[in-house]
Structure 1
Amino acid sequence: MSGRVLITAGASGVGRAMAEAFDAAGAQVWVADVNPKALSDCPAHWRRSEANVADENAVATLFQDIEAEWGGLDTLCANAGIAGPTASVEDVALDDWRMCLAVNLEGAFLSAKYAAPILKRQGSGAVVITSSTAGQYGYPNRAPYAAAKWGMIGLAKTLAMELGAHGVRCNVICPGSVEGPRMEGVLQREADAKGMTRDQVYEGYASGTSMGRFVEGHDIANMAVFLASDAARLVSGQVIAVDGHTVNPDPKV
């Protein structure tokens, strides 16, 4: 595919897998990330920006740079997110709640806010928002994360309605448990809180899917490429889980 693609949190994890998949498909790739080391490790032909999506000035500058260099944008992958605290709701500090919503929900909002005028002017494009199955089922001991991910789905469905008349589509990918460092942190924190081992918690999550396994970054990336492509030209306002089919969002182990 041709096109110009921005991926937030694109220097590592799922975002890096997305960037690699779009690159392999022939797109021009721009990654934004808060981690300068991860950005420096990206391929030299990718455009790279250090930017915090929760900072409106940083997001505004990012999109100004994109317009100056590219003259437009074809796909926004609003992928930035943090896990937030692992604690029962009464033990969640308000500052931790606010930080989780700022990066996950406000970050997606700000990215969409500054992408929308560009996409509307050119009369085409796609927005792909990375939410979570926590935004479909809830997530015990992860209230800030679940609340943010539910909010991202409402944001995306509204964007699909606002932008559709301009030829712009918006869809949501809801990953299940994704192999990688961020999920490893979640597993260990939950294991510590429950007096269990990391492997016991891992098996509990895996057994909550009909396919009995975690997903990998490239599974999410492949869906993002499809949703940005002409093959999905009439797919908009949809929430698509890539999770191995969650059958029990709160498995007991």
Structure 2
Amino acid sequence: MDGTTAFVTGASQGIGREIVLEFANRGANVALAARGDGIEETAELISAPERTLSVRTDVTDEDSVREAIERTVETFGGLDVLVNNAGIAGPTAPIEDVDREAWDRTMGVNVTGMFLTTKHAVSHLRESDRASVINVSSISGKRPLENRTPYTASKMAVIGLTRTLAFELGDDEITVNAICPGATSGPRIDAVIEAQAEALRVDYEEAKRRVFTDDAALGSLVEPEDVAKAAAFLASEDARHVTAQDVNVDGGTVWY
């Protein structure tokens, strides 16, 4: 990835942080976009500060998104890869107990955020010789997940957005793919498991087993590094003819 420039949202922790580190290790310039201080912590893990840019970004704020992408292009001279990773878990509750604010917030971050970043990145991506958009969805965008209606609906929307953009941008030779991680180790999934344990009235380990790992062929959670490696492949020349796909990284939980 020498000489390429990537803009990665949700870069302050978890999957986003690992994607940034993977890209940087492969020689890419990386713009770390997120709302919090975690982007600075991520940047400190990269040994090439000249190829690193931290940009405070709220993906639900169009002005914030526009300014962050413009700053990235001004700093590195272009844009080749957009990774839409920013997302939130949303509430864990039966549909009748989900309030409108929580619904709108989940959709705003998980779907509208991807719309805004892509909208403002695409004119720059068209100037690249090897442009790609990588949207982080979830296997929950393919199968039901009890008491997680806002989240699953948002992740299904990401797959629809991905497939449509792949055809819309195909004439510009921009590939667009989604990665669908399974339950991935980290603070976010810990919070989800704890909420599921409370809803199911079981302990943490039982909720983890019942809701997530029992369904996986490998019987374990996914590591963020696994998702990062998939993103690096989709951004590489090796994936030149891979587009409009939703790629599972889930330890064998879904097969479609």
- Deviation string for 1:92-114 (max 9, x for gaps)? 00110000000000111111111
Question: How far apart are the structure 2 equivalents of 1:171 and 1:65?
Answer: 25
Q: What residue number does 2:40 align with?
A: 40
For residues 129 and 25 of structure 2, what CA distance do their matches in structure 1 show? 25
**Alignment map for 1:123-138 (pairs within 5 Å):** 124-138=130-144
Runs of 4+ off more than 6 Å: none
1:51 maps to which residue? 57
Query: How many Å separate the matches in 1 of 2:61 and 2:254?
Result: 37
- Normalization by structure 1: what TM-score? 0.95
Aligned alpha-carbon RMSD (Å)? 1.2
Post-superposition offset of 1:233: 0.5
User: 1:87-126 counterparts in 2 under 5 A?
Assistant: 87-122=93-128, 124-126=130-132
User: Equivalent residue for 2:9?
Assistant: 8
The whole-number CA distance in structure 2 between the counterparts of 1:192 and 1:43 is 36
Whether 1:26 aligns to 2:27 is yes
Please give the secondary structure, in 1, of the residue aligned with 2:31: strand
Cα deviations by residue, 1:201-240 (Å, 9 ceiling, x for unpaired): 1112101111111100000000000000000000000010
Match status 1:187 vs 2:193: yes
3-state secondary structure, aligned to 1:137: coil
Q: Which amino acid aligns with 2:98?
A: V
The structural deviation recorded for 1:123 is: 5.2
Q: Secondary structure at the match of 2:117?
A: helix
TM-score by length of 2: 0.94
Unaligned ranges ≥5, structure 2: none
Higher deviation after alignment, 113-122 or 85-94? 113-122
- Aligned residue among 212, 223, 239 for 1:216: 223
Instruction: Measure, in 2, the Cα distance between the counterparts of 1:77 and 1:117.
Output: 15
What SS is found at the alignment partner of 1:41? helix
Distance, in Å, in 2 between the alignment partners of 1:113 and 1:43 is: 26
Q: Which moved more, 1:56-65 or 1:122-131?
A: 122-131
The runs of 5 or more residues in structure 1 that have no matched partner are 249-253
| Counterpart Cα distance in 2 of 1:241 and 1:232 | 15
- 1:160·1:169 contact (CA, 8 Å) conserved in 2? yes
Tell me if structure 1 keeps the 8 A contact 2:221–2:251. yes
Aligned mates of 2:118, 2:92 — CA distance in 1: 28
Q: Which amino acid aligns with 2:239?
A: A
How far apart, CA to CA, are the structure 2 residues paired with 1:64 and 1:22? 20
Q: Which residue of 1 aligns with 2:174?
A: 168
Count of residues paired in the alignment: 247
Say which SS state the counterpart of residue 107 (structure 1) adopts. Answer: helix
SS at match of 1:43: helix
Residue identity in the other structure for 2:243: S
Q: Does structure 1 retain, via aligned residues, the 8 Å contact 2:43–2:54?
A: no
Deviation at 1:29, TM superposition (A): 1.1
Q: Match of 1:251?
A: none
Contact kept in structure 2, 1:79 and 1:129, CA below 8 Å: yes
* Alignment check: 8 A CA contact 2:200 2:207 kept: no
Give 1:247 shift.
5.1
